[in-house]
Every structure is written in C-alpha cells, then in structure tokens.
C-alpha cells in the first residue's frame, strides 16, 4: 500500500470520527430541546448540553488536527526600522520651526490640562476612603439601638410591656429611626418557666425582643408559631427556637437571632439598654 493510500484511509477514518462527533452533538442538542419542551428537568438538560458541546468540540478538534493541512509556513516581514527618508521627515516635523513642541505656550496649557484632569480623578478616589464617615465594617456591626432608646411601633407610638399580648408578635423600631433597614425587631411574650436558655437580651415580665432579620439572608422572620415558641423565616424556612436563645434549629441559618436588651423607663415604656447582642441580618461580610 502506497503512502498516498495510507493517507487517504486515515483521512476517511478521521472524516467518519468527525461526522460521528457532530452527530452526537446534534443528538445532544435535540435531547435538550425535547426535555425543555416537555416541561424541563435540570439534570437532563445539563447532561444534554454537555453532550452537545462535547461532541462539537471533539469533532472540531479532530477536523483541525487530522484533516486540515499542517506544516511550517514562513511569511516575510517588513523591516521594523523606518526608512531614512521617513525618519528625516519626522525630525523636521518635531524639531522644525513649525513644530508643536516649539510652541511653549501650547505645551504649558497641555500640561495644565493634564494636571487638572489628574487632580479631578482624585476626587472619586477620595469617596472610597471614610475620612468623615463611619467605617463600613463598624457600620454593619452597629445600629441606632442604644441605652435609653424607646421601642416604638411603625407609627412612632411607644410600647408598654402590657401591650405585648401573649400569642401575638409586635414589630418595634428604635424611636426616631423607624426608616432604617437594619433596626426592625419583634417583641413577644413568653412564659419565663419555659426558657431552656435565657434570652440573650433578657426579659421583662416574659417580654423578649429579637432582631426581625433572618441571619441567613436578611429576610424578615415574621411567622410566629405560638405552640412551640418558634420563629419561621418564609424565604428559606430557617426555624428559630425562642425558648433556646433564638438559636436556629432548621434551615440554612447558622446564627441565632440577635437579642435586644430591654428595660422599662420611668414612664412605664419599654426601652433598650444597648444595641443588639450581635450584628443583625446575614453575617457573611464578617467572615475571615
């Protein structure tokens, strides 16, 4: 068998492989379309697409490697140095009497413009540095809750302990900061004899207060299950046991709901005695 015959056989074999690979790719694409059109199934769609792209890649690879001409090819390149005549013209343009470089006034104005642009560019950079603002990490760790701040409803009315009725949930805010996104809390009345772990913020006649923000993704944990004294987050079903310091017992949340230390002021209204016992909401930003 001559060399030409051998090359011809190899090319035919490579052509069959390429054709088979493209056929597999077409089948994978058809399978994806079929699964998608009949209701969809994530795993099958992924496998179908993987088969389609793998077949396409394999076919193109074999085609390029076995069927396209190969070999070394040399292309002549023009010399990198400019001809002497061009260099002379450049020198005359830059150093001649009409050269822009000899117009000192224009050069000075160009330098002034560039310096002004450079100075202006520093102002956006300054906004990234907290010269006159609270640092981001500290801002995330603290809230307006502080000693002496009254617990108020959304309409700004203060709350007395007796107004937290057993079996209900009362959303509260720090007085004067009702519009902050990290401050919402809830007050609920529980039987102190049922506490397996003391509330992190303490309690006043059975009234305990915790952050309303789920420690998984920051959704409001607004579903209260009275029989078991648990809070449920409707977003991802995290479940917190209020009788055990609001620790998570189900769902993706990994931290307890922060507690709010409370007391009663001279007028009989509930007030905070400090900030939350831990940063409210998701704590991914504090991971190291």
State the average pLDDT over residues 53-80.
79
For 180-222, what is each residue's pLDDT tens digit? 888 999 999 999 999 999 999 999 999 999 999 999 999 999 8
Q: Please tell me whether residue 285 adopts helix, strand or coil conformation.
A: helix
The CA-based diameter of the chain, rounded to the nearest angstrom, is: 109
**Which CATH class for the 139-288 domain?**
mainly beta
Residue 101 reports pLDDT greater than 80: no
DSSP states of 181-202: TT--EEEEE--GGG-SB--TT-
Higher pLDDT, 33 or 126: 33
DSSP letter string over 205-261? TTEEEEESB-TTT--B--EEETTTTEEE-TTT--EEETTBTTEEEESS--SPPPB--
Rounded to two decimals, the pTM is 0.56
Average confidence (pLDDT) over 106-117: 77
Q: pLDDT grade, residue 286 (50/70/90)?
A: low
* Extents of the domains making up the chain: 3-67, 139-288
pLDDT of 127 reads 64
Size of the chain in residues: 288
* Statement: residue 89 has pLDDT above 60: yes
Tell me what pLDDT residue 2 has.
62
């Amino acid at each position: 068998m001559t060399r030409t015959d051998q090359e011809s056989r190899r090319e035919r074999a490579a052509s069959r492989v390429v054709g088979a690979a493209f056929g597999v790719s077409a089948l994978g694409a058809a399978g994806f379309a079929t699964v998608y059109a009949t209701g969809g199934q994530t795993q099958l769609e992924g496998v179908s697409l993987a088969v389609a792209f793998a077949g396409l890649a394999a076919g193109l690879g074999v085609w390029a490697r076995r069927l396209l001409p190969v070999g070394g090819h040399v292309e002549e390149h023009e010399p990198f140095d400019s001809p002497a005549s061009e260099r002379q013209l450049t020198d005359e343009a830059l150093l001649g009497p009409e050269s822009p470089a000899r117009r000192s006034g224009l050069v000075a104005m160009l330098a002034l413009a560039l310096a002004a642009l450079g100075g202006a560019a520093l102002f956006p950079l300054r906004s990234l540095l907290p010269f006159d603002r609270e640092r981001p990490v500290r801002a995330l760790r603290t809230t307006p809750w502080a000693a002496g701040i009254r617990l108020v409803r959304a309409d700004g009315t203060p709350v007395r302990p007796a107004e937290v009725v057993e079996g209900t949930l009362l959303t509260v805010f720090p007085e004067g900061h009702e519009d902050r996104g990290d401050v919402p809390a809830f007050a609920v009345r529980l039987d102190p004899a049922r506490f397996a772990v003391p509330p992190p913020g303490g309690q006043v006649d059975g009234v305990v207060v915790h952050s309303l923000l789920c420690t998984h993704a920051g959704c409001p944990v607004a579903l209260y299950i009275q029989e078991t004294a648990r809070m449920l987050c409707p977003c991802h079903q995290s479940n917190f046991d209020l009788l055990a310091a609001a620790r998570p017992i189900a769902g993706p949340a990994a931290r307890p709901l922060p507690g709010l230390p409370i007391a009663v002021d001279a007028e009989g209204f509930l007030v905070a005695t400090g900030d939350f016992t831990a940063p409210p909401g998701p704590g991914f930003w504090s991971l190291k």
